[in-house]
Amino acid sequence: MEGRKKAFDQLTQRGIEGLVCIGGDGSYMGAHLLNNEHGIACVGIPGTIDNDLYGTDYTIGYDTAINTAIEAIDRIRDTADSHNRVFIIEVMGRDSGFIALDSGIAGGAEGIMIPEDISDTDKLFQHFSNDERRTKSFSIIIVAEGDEEGGAFTHANRLKEKFPDIKLRVTILGHIQRGGNPSARDRILASSLGYHSVRALINGETNAALGIVDNKPFMIPLHEASTRKSSIDGELIKMADVLSR
Amino acid sequence: MEGRKKAFDQLTQRGIEGLVCIGGDGSYMGAHLLNNEHGIACVGIPGTIDNDLYGTDYTIGYDTAINTAIEAIDRIRDTADSHNRVFIIEVMGRDSGFIALDSGIAGGAEGIMIPEDISDTDKLFQHFSNDERRTKSFSIIIVAEGDEEGGAFTHANRLKEKFPDIKLRVTILGHIQRGGNPSARDRILASSLGYHSVRALINGETNAALGIVDNKPFMIPLHEASTRKSSIDGELIKMADVLSR
Amino acid sequence: MEGRKKAFDQLTQRGIEGLVCIGGDGSYMGAHLLNNEHGIACVGIPGTIDNDLYGTDYTIGYDTAINTAIEAIDRIRDTADSHNRVFIIEVMGRDSGFIALDSGIAGGAEGIMIPEDISDTDKLFQHFSNDERRTKSFSIIIVAEGDEEGGAFTHANRLKEKFPDIKLRVTILGHIQRGGNPSARDRILASSLGYHSVRALINGETNAALGIVDNKPFMIPLHEASTRKSSIDGELIKMADVLSR
Amino acid sequence: MEGRKKAFDQLTQRGIEGLVCIGGDGSYMGAHLLNNEHGIACVGIPGTIDNDLYGTDYTIGYDTAINTAIEAIDRIRDTADSHNRVFIIEVMGRDSGFIALDSGIAGGAEGIMIPEDISDTDKLFQHFSNDERRTKSFSIIIVAEGDEEGGAFTHANRLKEKFPDIKLRVTILGHIQRGGNPSARDRILASSLGYHSVRALINGETNAALGIVDNKPFMIPLHEASTRKSSIDGELIKMADVLSR
């Protein structure tokens, strides 16, 4: 609260009447309170690599992150292939499986472990119960760091216990998923959200979270956006299951 | 017609009952005729870097192409910046300005010349009529190869004539825009279209062009998809104008 | 030995008189024995990302690996910079610090921990004993997986113990350092070694390890190459110390 | 001369006693004269993508440029391959064929046209006089912009005249070869040259061009470096001929 008072003072000193706030739930909540307490017009736009913000199809940074992830997966596949190994790769996503699901589909993974799918371990065990799959070829398994059963090492231990003959390796992609040159799609999204957020402020909108839904600008109250979660399309999980067979 | 007879013979010999055809208008038309003449079930999915197919928001290859284009633009910007030059960069797009518009927005271009915008030259001349912009800094101008007034060299000549003091360079990106490792978005799009096209065939659909519109599968007759054109959102051109100022 | 008999049989069946063997010490030793036991002419060329083979300045795969490493370091630096963190990044190199040293210099690291330098921890502690360096900016520290004091996590624990106020993160680059599209330098090196190895076989050379030293082809006995180790230039370590200050 | 007086005044005002000058022949000559006329200690280090400076094996920027070139060649090969085309790709190199030769070898080109080789057109014609090579597969031909017989378009016209059935495309890589994130090798080279140039100044060296020859620092007078040219190893041209067959 003291921080917001300070922010308000700085803004008024500089003659700034409206604020575009880029971030996640925390930033949205801060902007919402700044508006309530001090009357500064605030529009929030979604900036997080996790893609789990409510009120938008995509968040700024997400496309770059999954491109980095699949580049890493492609590299690991080269080793997996030539050494006949199973690689368990942990990607970011503390509360959601967006990165894991999309990079798993794009990377041609044989298994994708996400918090939204409680039957993914069963599917994986079934996959490896086929002897040939287990011993004669390589596999890529993607795990969201926030999977309800644990990260990549936990899954590796289970798999090892169940199928002791699998040659397993674990890779945690970690912070390379942040940073890097932004992808085309992220730049276009950021340009578009920047443009529409300024227009919204000019039109007198405030306390609004601006996203892109079905390729069109979409606004909901900041408070709503900061308290609800985006959920993964169940149809997409079904598709991933079919493709990984 | 003879070709299609041969194709039909090959398909029946191999016991293939349905065909997923990946391509543009020409391939769609071929699939449509193959179905009409021989009764093979055909579903078309959009594969072209130009993104100008009717009945889909994105075509397979487009996202990779614009990522390649902005990578090239980023590199050229380094030279433009350190040598204080204006660069006119021609990107692909024989009949449409999708690549030019999106890579221009993503690449922070000062001018974007596309067939869909007949006033783009006026805007560009206005931009450079400001002395400072012309002589004291660098600029990136993107031209679609199919712009109604000509390619990059034509625009360079006009600009040179009007403003002889501009230091100009022309780059034609050409075929580097095709090929390369596919981007995450293109892989996900291709996976999704592949999945839904096979499901469509299983469900008895035929003669259909399958696309993704507003993140959902969308089908129209092949004939319609092969004879209509996708058009650029006018709002996007307006946005590009504001951002390039 | 049975394996080599089988290899010999396969070679003679196919009329192959000479073998170019790509690999590390193990493969060299195998080629040496294959020659001794069966008289097949063998030339070895260095293929390992670790760059620690004796008798060559560079091994095939090394340049690609350090390019992948610095790309990852660049990405991590973006996060380190914006969040004011110290990142400890572990790179490959079980027995040697080549990758760590070169990627540390190229990546602008503040500390490089390699098995060849026993005073590197002292230097690092000294670096962080400066209060400002520790708390007001970000740092990148590169650790070779085979460092004599342990990997990235060991170093992180020591640093944390000594300076509890440091905000630390650990990243293990792992298998992304293998694989990927080969760099220009690796392709040229591989082309050159391929060319010279075939010429060597034609000229009647055998049991030789072929490398490139001072930009020229260089040959030593396979046995020697497989039993000696390449060592890091001490001058390079001194240079890294100066640059990281 | 006036410019150098001004430079000298600026240096003395700021208490700068020595200068490290990064560039090509022109910059070296300027540094040489600045030293002669005003006594400022000057050391030159080689910064040009063309790699044709005398007194060094590699220049800063060269490795990045050839990596960019082969990335572009890889992309074009995808199209050449799927459409059965011959691509003539022009790379930078006004006075020398370094970029063309190295990127041609690394890119697996079937022909490399450089100013240093006057028989390259004969070799190319011979290559395509084989009917199968001309009509049944694809080819990549690299041309240095400064080839003694002309650039890519000139070579395309000649080839078209001689073999009218070839499906040809021309791509001029142009300014994308400058700029971009520096490669690992370029960063290490730049770090090393920076380190040794400062040490040279401290040791009282002046009027010296510093390069790296056979992996060791190497110094010659600036005047000599600015008036002689580096030449391509004839053995490398021979190797390229063998590899392209």
Residues of chain C found within 8 Å of residue D70, distances taken between Cβ atoms: 184, 187
pTM above 0.90, yes or no: yes
Res. A183: pLDDT tops 80? yes
Could you give the residue ranges of the DSSP H alpha helices within chain A?
Answer: 2-13, 25-38, 62-83, 98-106, 120-129, 131-135, 152-162, 184-202, 222-227, 234-244
Residue A237 lies in a domain: no
Q: Which of these, C139, C18, C11, lies nearest to C87 by C-alpha position?
A: C139
Task: Determine whether B50 is an active site residue.
Answer: yes
Residues of chain A found within 8 Å of residue B57, distances taken between Cβ atoms: 215
Among candidates A75, A174, A180 on the partner chain, residue whose Cβ is nearest the Cβ of C180: A75
The token pair that represents A7 in the structure block: 């922010």
Beta bridge partners of A210: A219
Beta bridge partners of C45: C22
Q: pLDDT tens digits, residue range D185-201?
A: 999 999 999 999 999 99
Q: pLDDT tens digits, residue range B44-71?
A: 999 999 999 999 999 999 999 999 999 9
pLDDT band for C178, please (50, 70, 90 cuts): very high
| pLDDT for res A1 | 79
The token pair that represents C16 in the structure block: 């192959």
Residue B244 lies in a domain: no
Asked if C151 contacts C90 with a C-beta cutoff of 8 angstroms, the reply is: yes
Residues A145 and A158 in one domain: yes
Residues of chain C found within 8 Å of residue A71, distances taken between Cβ atoms: 180
Among candidates B74, B105, B188 on the partner chain, residue whose Cβ is nearest the Cβ of A106: B188
Of B163, B179, B195, the last residue of a domain is: B179
Least confident of A47-51, C56-60, D130-134: D130-134
Q: Where are the beta strands (DSSP E) in chain B?
A: 18-23, 41-46, 86-91, 111-113, 139-144, 168-172, 208-213, 216-221
Residue C215 lies in a domain: yes
Q: Tokens 């508006």 map to which residue? A: A35
pLDDT band for A79, please (50, 70, 90 cuts): confident
Asked if D54 contacts D137 with a C-beta cutoff of 8 angstroms, the reply is: no
Res. B134: pLDDT tops 80? no
| pLDDT for res D42 | 97
Asked if B15 contacts B44 with a C-beta cutoff of 8 angstroms, the reply is: no
How far away is chain A from the Cα of C177, in angstroms, using its nearest Cα? 8
Tell me if residue C170 falls in helix, strand or coil. Answer: strand
Contact D178 B77 (CB under 8 A): no
How high is the mean pLDDT of chain C? 94
User: What is the residue-wise DSSP string for B35-93?
Assistant: HHHH--EEEEEEB-TT--BTT-S--BTHHHHHHHHHHHHHHHHHHHHHHT-EEEEEE--
Instruction: Give the residue on A whose Cα is nearest the Cα of B187.
Output: A106
Residues B97 and B174 in one domain: yes
How far, in Å, CA of D21 to CA of D28, rounded?
A: 7
Give phi and psi for A229, each to the nearest 5: -120, 150
Contact B66 A102 (CB under 8 A): no
Q: What are the residue numbers of the active site of D?
A: 50
Residues of chain D found within 8 Å of residue B174, distances taken between Cβ atoms: 169, 171-172
- Compute how many other C-beta atoms are within 10 angstroms of the C-beta atom of residue B148: 14
Domain carrying residue C195: 2-60+184-227
Asked if C231 contacts C212 with a C-beta cutoff of 8 angstroms, the reply is: no
Residues A77 and A128 in one domain: yes
Taking a contact as any Cβ pair under 8 Å apart, which residues of chain A between 127 and 156 contact chain B? none
Asked if A70 contacts B190 with a C-beta cutoff of 8 angstroms, the reply is: no
Res. C136: pLDDT tops 80? no
Residue B234 lies in a domain: no
ipTM summary value? 0.94
| pLDDT for res D91 | 97
Contact A102 B188 (CB under 8 A): yes
Tell me if residue A210 falls in helix, strand or coil. Answer: strand
How far, in Å, CA of D76 to CA of B176, rounded?
A: 5
| pLDDT for res D169 | 94
Among candidates D70, D192, D239 on the partner chain, residue whose Cβ is nearest the Cβ of C184: D70
| pLDDT for res C241 | 93
Residues D110 and D161 in one domain: yes
Residues A75 and A138 in one domain: yes
How far, in Å, CA of D57 to CA of C216, rounded?
A: 12
- The angle that helices A98-106 and A234-244 make with each other, rounded to 10 degrees, is 30
- Compute how many other C-beta atoms are within 10 angstroms of the C-beta atom of residue D165: 9
Catalytic pick from C50, C52, C63, C102? C50
How far, in Å, CA of C61 to CA of C68, rounded?
A: 11
Of D164, D179, D194, the last residue of a domain is: D179
pLDDT band for C131, please (50, 70, 90 cuts): confident
A62 touches chain C (CB under 8 A): no
Residues A16 and A32 in one domain: yes
Q: What is the CATH number of the domain that holds B172?
A: 3.40.50.460
Residue A16 lies in a domain: yes
Q: What is the CATH number of the domain that holds D218?
A: 3.40.50.450
Q: Cα torsion for B132, B136, B137, B140, to the nearest 10°?
A: 70
Show Cβ contacts of residue D92 under 8 Å, excluding neighbours closer than 6 positions. Answer: D49, D50, D65, D99, D144, D145, D173, D174, D177, D178
Res. C209: pLDDT tops 90? yes
Domain count, chain B: 2
| pLDDT for res D130 | 83
Q: Which of these, C231, C242, C186, lies nearest to C55 by C-alpha position?
A: C231
How far, in Å, CA of B75 to CA of B239, rounded?
A: 24
Tell me if residue C143 falls in helix, strand or coil. Answer: strand
pLDDT band for B96, please (50, 70, 90 cuts): very high
Least confident of B167-181, B219-233, D117-131, D147-161: D117-131
Asked if C175 contacts A171 with a C-beta cutoff of 8 angstroms, the reply is: yes
| pLDDT for res B79 | 86
Q: Tokens 């199928």 map to which residue? A: A163
The token pair that represents A188 in the structure block: 């276009």
Taking a contact as any Cβ pair under 8 Å apart, which residues of chain D between 77 and 96 contact chain B? 77-79, 87
Residues A138 and A79 in one domain: yes
Query: Whole-angstrom distance between the N-terminal and C-terminal Cα of chain D?
Result: 52
Asked if C110 contacts C130 with a C-beta cutoff of 8 angstroms, the reply is: no
**Average pLDDT value for residue range B150-173:** 93
Residue D86 lies in a domain: yes
Rounded to 5 degrees, what angle do the CA atoms B177, B182, B185 make?
A: 110
Asked if A46 contacts B204 with a C-beta cutoff of 8 angstroms, the reply is: no
Q: Where are the beta strands (DSSP E) in chain D?
A: 18-23, 41-46, 86-91, 111-113, 139-144, 168-172, 208-213, 216-221
| pLDDT for res D26 | 93
Residues B127 and B198 in one domain: no
Residue D232 lies in a domain: no
Residues of chain B found within 8 Å of residue D87, distances taken between Cβ atoms: 175
| pLDDT for res C1 | 79
The stretches in chain D having pLDDT less than 50 are: none
Q: Which of these, A205, A227, A231, lies nearest to A218 by C-alpha position?
A: A205
Contact A184 B102 (CB under 8 A): yes
Among candidates C74, C79, C176 on the partner chain, residue whose Cβ is nearest the Cβ of A72: C176
Residues B28 and B81 in one domain: no
| pLDDT for res A83 | 79
Residues of chain D found within 8 Å of residue B172, distances taken between Cβ atoms: 171-172, 174
Contact C183 D102 (CB under 8 A): no
Residues B49 and B71 in one domain: no
| pLDDT for res B20 | 97
Complete edge-to-edge strand list for the sheet that includes strand B41-46: B18-23, B41-46, B208-213, B216-221
Residues D194 and D123 in one domain: no
**Average pLDDT value for residue range C53-75:** 97
Asked if A27 contacts A21 with a C-beta cutoff of 8 angstroms, the reply is: yes
User: What is the residue-wise DSSP string for D175-219?
Assistant: GGGS-SSPPHHHHHHHHHHHHHHHHHHHTT--SEEEEEETTEEEE
Show Cβ contacts of residue B61 under 8 Å, excluding neighbours closer than 6 positions. Answer: B47, B48, B49, B178, B182, B186
Res. B205: pLDDT tops 90? yes
- Of the two residues D193 and A135, the one the predictor is more confident about is D193
Q: Is the dihedral of CA C69, C71, C74, C78 positive or negative?
A: negative
Enumerate neighbours of A (3 or more CB pairs within 8 A). B, C
Res. A133: pLDDT tops 80? no
The token pair that represents B103 in the structure block: 């890579």
Residue D244 lies in a domain: no
How far away is chain D from the Cα of C37, in angstroms, using its nearest Cα? 32
How high is the mean pLDDT of chain B? 94
Tell me if residue C141 falls in helix, strand or coil. Answer: strand
How far, in Å, CA of A82 to CA of A76, rounded?
A: 10
Residues D67 and D172 in one domain: yes
> Could you tell me the CA-to-CA distances from C122 to B107, B241, C159, C167, C245 in Å, in that order?
46, 57, 11, 20, 13
